[in-house]
Amino acid sequence: MIKHHPSEQLLSQYSLGELPATLSIAISAHLEFCTCCKSKVEALEATQADTEFEDTTSPFDNDDFADMLSMITEKNDVDAVAPYESEVFSYQDKELSLPRAIAAIDRSNFVQLGKLSRSRLKLDDGEMRASLLQIEPNGEIPHHTHTGFELTLLLDGEFADENGHYVPGDFIWLDARHHHQPTTTQGCLCFTVVNSALHFNKGLSKLLNPIGNLIY
């Protein structure tokens, strides 16, 4: 069962279209796993729509809306919408369908380092970096904290750290207050968003810190 969800504030900002693209993608993907958060977003959007149409100061009224719909439906040159076909994604001898928001973005080839592999999404979103991250069975990410924030959405498989065990759909937000060492016995696929380098703080992994800004 999913135990980790976006905050109420993030869901509200998502429903208003106020989030950066990478965070919107993460929440949209989470909603494909989580009926609870999906219902919350639908309720927020319904409330916001009612508020907008009831706002007497808004330049957009019901007559404008009716005229717009009429104009759209009268057009004969609108292309038919093709049905969505989910992408089959293969990793570690498994196949799955990626969440629609993630599958829609081009990404680089996977680059492997030991039991870790990362594919960067080709998305210009300022300092934020979005990636697909694979960890092979019995793999781990060395003990680290964060100089910014790290968002992890588990898409498939499992992993655990000092804070618990995670299942597909879990939405985990960490920052400089958190220290952890993710490990997996079965392997996993994650969608990650970071806005600064990780800071490795134990053993030989400390040697990665001087190039941390280049690999985040």
DSSP state of 133: E
The span from the CA of 191 to the CA of 76, in Å, is 40
Report the percentage of the chain scoring pLDDT > 90: 57
The span from the CA of 155 to the CA of 37, in Å, is 16
Residue 85 pLDDT > 50, yes or no? yes
How open is the CA angle 71-72-73, to the nearest 5 degrees?
95
User: Which CATH number characterizes residue 83's domain?
Assistant: 2.60.120.10
The total number of structural domains in the chain stands at 1
What stretches of the chain adopt beta strand conformation (E)? 88-91, 94-97, 111-113, 116-120, 129-135, 139-140, 144-146, 150-157, 159-161, 164-166, 171-174, 183-184, 188-194, 198-200
Q: What is the pLDDT of residue 130?
A: 96
154-172 pLDDT, tens digit per residue, is: 999 999 998 899 999 999 9
Full DSSP string of 151-174 = EEEEEEE-EEETTEEE-TT-EEEE
The span from the CA of 121 to the CA of 156, in Å, is 18
Report the percentage of the chain scoring pLDDT > 70: 80
The pLDDT confidence band at residue 63, using thresholds 50, 70 and 90, is low
Q: What is the pLDDT of residue 177?
A: 79
The pLDDT confidence band at residue 178, using thresholds 50, 70 and 90, is confident
The pLDDT confidence band at residue 216, using thresholds 50, 70 and 90, is very low
Residue 215 pLDDT > 60, yes or no? no
- Residue numbers of the domain that contains 92: 1-216
Q: What is the pLDDT of residue 214?
A: 43
Q: Are 120 and 130 in contact (CB under 8 A)?
A: yes
Residue 175 pLDDT > 90, yes or no? no
State if pTM tops 0.85: no
Least confident range of 54-58, 118-122, 178-182, 211-215: 211-215
